[in-house]
Amino acid sequence: MVQQDQDRVLQDTERVEGRTALRNNVDAAIALADAVRSTMGPKGLDKLLLGDDGSYLVTNDGVTVLESAKVEHATAKMLISTSRAQDDEVRDGTTSTVVLTAELLINALELVDRGVHPTIIARGYRMCGPVVEQTLDDISILADEATSLSSVKTSLAGKGDSSLQNKLAELAFAAASVTGSGEPEHTRVMTERSGSIKDSELIPGIVLMKARVHREMNLKPQAGRILILDGGMEKRKPEIEASLKITHTGAIEAFHARERADLQARVKCLSAANIDCLVARDGIEEEAHAMLAAAGILAYRRVERPEIEHLCRATGARPVFDVEDIRDEDVGHFASIREEKWQGVEHTIFVGSQSQGVTVVIRGSTSMRLEEAERAFNDAIGVACQLIREPRLLPGGGATQIALARRLRRHAETIPGREQMAIEGFAAALEAIPRILATNAGLDPIDELLRVTAAQAESDSAWQGLDVNTGQTGDMRKASIVEPISVTRHAIAGATEAAISVLRIDDVLWAKQDAQEPDWQTDED
């Protein structure tokens, strides 16, 4: 295609090429990182987020800040989705991911200005991967109960006061230990606007915000069998469109009698299967309530799907579509069922027999405090579950990043090509984490970085880091500042991938805002 043709093809498109494109993208990444940088670490500050509708939110959570930002820039959107992926996968380390991506890009741009091609930089960054992996494995230690709890507490540093942190850490650790599955979804979080955070509790089961369908039903506190119905227990509708033709008196009566008999037959099926409690996703016919009560069966209707799923995990039940074919393996078991009034609202508490579904009820006096506690708990349960899957810990307080930077610089010396410069850039980017932690605590970032680096070299230990609460350099294990290996590994890998994908862009094309529309289209509007 000759240049003229090319220009015509792209006439409704704006275009930015080469270094300008990279510079624009890096600027977007910096802007985004700047928005969350000051929240990082225990001394990080909170952000006040204001909505269009006058709503407001105070948060210390990186991903919450990013998601509320009205971002148009494609690169910024990409970075936000990297941070979201970190949140989905490991739930913690979201701020670190964004900050690291921005630093990797800033250092890359500097190298581009010095004449290194982005492809070489991308290759150099990729070469860091195996060294990072190996180093993380080398410096990590096996987690035990005490250090695991410390690491859950570390993830809550800076989020609320210490009584909130301690309570949430204990609950997250307990919930993860009980379920033992390493799946954060196996812990349901509920917030209740009453009491204070110290009244929060772990329930080995599920809480439904509803009461049994009929007061006459007997609430037995002891263990029993539960059937979960993925549907309802309502009158059957005729399968084909039919109209009822009344030919003699009593026809309607007979029709209703048949319907009642049908419901009664279904209740019999439940009795035959020794069901003590029925939970239905849809409705349960009014007429069936008394029949169920008479048969000694407790019943709950219109239970939402996520609650049904959690109830299945807690009781080991499998949902059935019809009460007429109950197999014994579908029946679940509960340890107890009780009703409680919370703030005047009926709640039913099912304590399960299986430990695969538990509920954490977070209590507090204001909805803002509850929301922030819920977000913090999210990080904490993520960390606790990560440790179940992979019980290895790394030092926090910037120690890991400094140890990686030292190792990478030594590795860079062995690489003869220009990739060497990129590896050095990667090492420098990692050091942004301890620098920011120090800055946010009002300490001098350069002095602290040098001090920790020297302490690591002198003691030959990667565990020397900076405790920003005391301002001291020391062993992070002794200071109980520890993090799951998976969170750090994921943050570095995610940031590297995001930075490389931005580096590979050398042409940005986008449709002009006021692209010409055909006349017939505008006329119709």
Q: What type of residue sits at position 112?
A: V
Q: How far is CA 118 from CA 103, 114, 425, 491, in A?
A: 15, 11, 13, 22
Residue 275's binding partner out of ligand ADP, Mg ion, none, with CB under 5 to 8 Å set by partner kind: none
Cβ atoms of 205 and 187 closer than 8 Å: no
Cβ atoms of 165 and 157 closer than 8 Å: yes
Cβ atoms of 491 and 86 closer than 8 Å: yes
Minimum distance of ligand ADP from residue 392's CB (angstroms): 15
Minimum distance of ligand ADP from residue 517's CB (angstroms): 44
Please identify, using beta-carbon distances, which residue of 277 and 433 lies nearer to ligand ADP: 433
Q: Nearest CA to 315 among 326, 305, 307, 323?
A: 307
Please identify, using beta-carbon distances, which residue of 92 and 103 lies nearer to Mg ion: 92
- What is the CA 361 to chain-centroid distance, rounded? 17
Our finding on whether 103 is near Mg ion (CB under 5 A) is: no
Residue 419's binding partner out of ligand ADP, Mg ion, none, with CB under 5 to 8 Å set by partner kind: none
Q: Which residue is nearest to ligand ADP (CB)?
A: 396
Q: Is 13 a catalytic residue?
A: no
Please identify, using beta-carbon distances, which residue of 158 and 160 lies nearer to ligand ADP: 158
Q: Is 519 a catalytic residue?
A: no
Q: Is 94 a catalytic residue?
A: yes
Please identify, using beta-carbon distances, which residue of 396 and 425 lies nearer to ligand ADP: 396
Q: Which residues bind ligand ADP (CB under 6 A)?
A: 39-42, 44, 62, 92-96, 154, 157-158, 396-397, 433, 437, 466-469, 481, 483
Cβ atoms of 24 and 16 closer than 8 Å: yes
Q: How far is CA 161 from CA 96, 149, 153, 234, in A?
A: 22, 17, 12, 51
Our finding on whether 92 is near Mg ion (CB under 5 A) is: yes
Residue 494's binding partner out of ligand ADP, Mg ion, none, with CB under 5 to 8 Å set by partner kind: none
Q: Is 199 a catalytic residue?
A: no
Minimum distance of ligand ADP from residue 263's CB (angstroms): 54
Minimum distance of Mg ion from residue 92's CB (angstroms): 4
Is 222 strand, coil or helix?
coil
Minimum distance of Mg ion from residue 171's CB (angstroms): 17
Considering only the stretches 64-72, 148-156, 317-325, 365-373, report the one whose residues sit in contact with Mg ion under the rule CB under 5 A. 148-156
Instruction: State the Cα–Cα distance between residues 451 and 468, nearest whole angstrom.
Output: 13
Q: Nearest CA to 26 among 147, 129, 148, 113?
A: 113
Catalytic site residue from 39, 59, 82, 94: 94
Residue 396's binding partner out of ligand ADP, Mg ion, none, with CB under 5 to 8 Å set by partner kind: ligand ADP
What's the sign of the alpha-carbon dihedral 445, 449, 450, 455?
positive
Write out the residues near Mg ion by the rule CB under 5 A.
Answer: 92, 155
